[in-house]
Amino acid sequence: MTLRSRTTVRWCVRTLSEICVTVGTLIVLFVVYVLFWTGIRADSAMDGEIGRLQEQWSTGSVAPDDSAPAPTRTKPPGPYEAGTSFAAMYIPRFGADWAKPVLEGTATDTLKRGLGHYDRTARLGQVGNFAVAGHRRTYGDPFKDFPRLRPGDAVVLTDGTTWFTYRIDNRPYTTLPGDIGVIDPVPARSGYNGPGRYLTLTTCEPEWGHSHRLIAWAHLDSTQPVEQGRPSALTG
């Protein structure tokens, strides 16, 4: 091999090595962005939504604890507005401090700021199916622990006037993204026999993918005015 050929080979090897290092660095930065930075931004956005709900609902009373809005509004909530938060959700199974805003719609930007209500499903507490979607991973990982849900677990929501306590009826069910019957007024494959006041929670499966969906169904177990304080599901 001539000196010129050897020089060319070294140059090619060095260039290829530099390209590999650059690509590797970009991959690492992307992973950091997905796992860390989107989480920070989403947590901040969700805290902001909870703060706005607190401001809307507050009439000068003190919140029961630092993690929960003080729902004290007496005027019934109006129509849900796309991209706007209207309720807060609590799932004790996910931790005592787990509290997430629920916004209207399931657009990409909406789900970066909290949980999203499927806009063609029932309103909170009404007859029909109040269906909600949330990220399993990235953007704050709100439904990271979704597979831990068990029958009997409480899912508590408030719209500022009423506490709504739903009870989970199934272990998470796996289906395909196109299976839209799971959010029907009487959800398909849920085992419910007729109209009722239902809640459907949906998220992605597997944990770091989106080829399938995990589904949990619940029924409305009880309601109480906010003036009566927090429901037993959150205080027990």
Query: The CATH number of the domain where 76 resides is what?
Result: 2.40.260.10
Pick left, alpha or beta for residue 217 (phi over 0 → left; psi -120 to 50 → alpha; otherwise beta).
beta
For residue 20, tell me if it sits in a domain. Answer: no
For residue 117, tell me if it sits in a domain. Answer: yes
For residue 21, tell me if it sits in a domain. Answer: no
pLDDT value at position 18? 58
* pLDDT(111) > 50: yes
Q: Known catalytic residues?
A: 135, 204, 213
Q: Are 142 and 135 in contact (CB under 8 A)?
A: yes
Residues 6+ apart with CB under 8 A from 156: 89, 90, 91, 92, 163, 164, 165, 166, 231, 233, 234
For residue 7, tell me if it sits in a domain. Answer: no
Residues 6+ apart with CB under 8 A from 113: 42, 45, 46, 48, 49, 85, 101, 103
Query: In the structure encoding, which two tokens stand for residue 134, read together?
Result: 């949330």
Q: How many domains does the chain have?
A: 1
d(CA 224, CA 110): 29
Backbone angles phi and psi of 155, in degrees to 5: -125, 115
* pLDDT(45) > 90: no
> What average pLDDT score do residues 159-163 get?
95
> What average pLDDT score do residues 197-218 get?
96
**What's the domain range around 86?**
39-235
pLDDT value at position 8? 65
For residue 13, tell me if it sits in a domain. Answer: no
Model confidence band, residue 53 (pLDDT cutoffs 50, 70, 90): very high
For residue 186, tell me if it sits in a domain. Answer: yes
* pLDDT(3) > 70: no
State the average pLDDT for the chain.
84
Pick left, alpha or beta for residue 120 (phi over 0 → left; psi -120 to 50 → alpha; otherwise beta).
alpha
The residue ranking higher by pLDDT, 75 or 23, is 75
* pLDDT(17) > 80: no
For residue 172, tell me if it sits in a domain. Answer: yes
* Chain segment 125-143, per-residue pLDDT in tens: 999 999 999 999 999 999 9
d(CA 22, CA 41): 26
For residue 19, tell me if it sits in a domain. Answer: no
